[in-house]
Amino acid sequence: MVDTQLRRRGIRDERVLRAMGEIPREEFVPAELRVMSYRDDPVPLGHGQTISQPYMTALMAQELELTGAETVLEVGAGSGYAAAVLGALARVVISIDIVPAMAQLARENLRRTARDANVTVLEGDGSLGCAGWAPFDAISVAAGAPDVPAALLDQLRDPGRMVIPVGPREDQELRVVRKAGGRVESRISTLCRFVPLRGGEGWS
């Protein structure tokens, strides 16, 4: 997976490549779908949700340019896999999911793989961020938003970076939003397709 799906497609951050080589993705995939663990595809998690394709998880982590010192917010814990990857790259990760069963699944998977030391999973509407832990050096949103939620932009530190899929329900662009010196800039990293972000600043 690391060589054929990530390195070959331009993932260059060695810390991301190492983390994804070390974290057992099969432990985050539903038992009956284990054969899909290292495929170049998203994997269904139930409740209409999916674990992103490995390349997308790697690209999002790479775009955040983490050094190991950051406090990171992930919106959309799902299986907990991306949270585990972010946990290997940053100091602290808060991952929030609006579906209680998903938060529970992420917590169990992170505990079983001993990746929970610096990763905390919360239940709640992450489209409103997580004010109690803000500001965040980096924010990764794992569900497609109609626009960049104002609360997330507010809770992003200066300097800070956010990756977020933005666009219509079915097709989005992965935006990399950078806050620095009081200014906010954004660029498009790639086209993508995520499940919809729900909640107050998501899709109703």
Q: What span, in angstroms and rounded, lies between the C-alpha atoms of 27 and 103?
A: 16
Closest to ligand SAH by CB, 127 vs 172, is 127
Q: For the residues of 24-72, what is the DSSP string, one character each? A: -GGGGS-GGGGGGTTSSS-EEEETTEEEPPHHHHHHHHHHTT--S--EE
Task: Pick one of 56, 72, 92, 142: the residue that binds ligand SAH (CB under 6 A).
Answer: 142
Give the range of 6-14, 96-104, 158-166, 173-181 binding ligand SAH by CB under 6 A: 96-104
Question: Catalytic: 52?
Answer: yes
Check: CB of residue 119 under 8 Å from CB of residue 84. yes
Nearest CA to 6 out of 40, 47, 30, 36 is that of: 40
Q: Does 59 bind ligand SAH (CB under 6 A)?
A: no
Give the range of 17-25, 70-78, 152-160, 163-171 binding ligand SAH by CB under 6 A: 70-78
Q: What span, in angstroms and rounded, lies between the C-alpha atoms of 80 and 18?
A: 18
Supply the minimum distance, in Å, between the C-beta of residue 121 and ligand SAH. Answer: 11
Site for ligand SAH in 115-134 (CB under 6 A): 125-127
Report the SS3 class of residue 131: helix
Query: CB-based burial of residue 118 (10 Å sphere; 0-12 exposed, 13-18 middle, 19+ buried)?
Result: middle
Supply the minimum distance, in Å, between the C-beta of residue 37 and ligand SAH. Answer: 12
Q: Does 143 bind ligand SAH (CB under 6 A)?
A: yes
* Token duo for residue 30: 């539903």
Task: Pick one of 13, 20, 64, 78: the residue that binds ligand SAH (CB under 6 A).
Answer: 78
Site for ligand SAH in 10-49 (CB under 6 A): 49
Supply the minimum distance, in Å, between the C-beta of residue 159 and ligand SAH. Answer: 24
Place of tokens 């806050």: 179
Task: Pick one of 66, 98, 138, 192: the residue that binds ligand SAH (CB under 6 A).
Answer: 98
Q: Does 73 bind ligand SAH (CB under 6 A)?
A: no
Q: Does 99 bind ligand SAH (CB under 6 A)?
A: yes
How much is the CA Rg of the chain, to the nearest whole Å?
15
* Per-residue DSSP letter, 133: G
Contacts with ligand SAH, residue ranges (CB under 6 A) = 49-52, 75-76, 78-79, 81-82, 96-99, 102, 125-127, 142-143, 195, 197-199, 202
Task: Give the residue numbers marked as catalytic.
Answer: 52
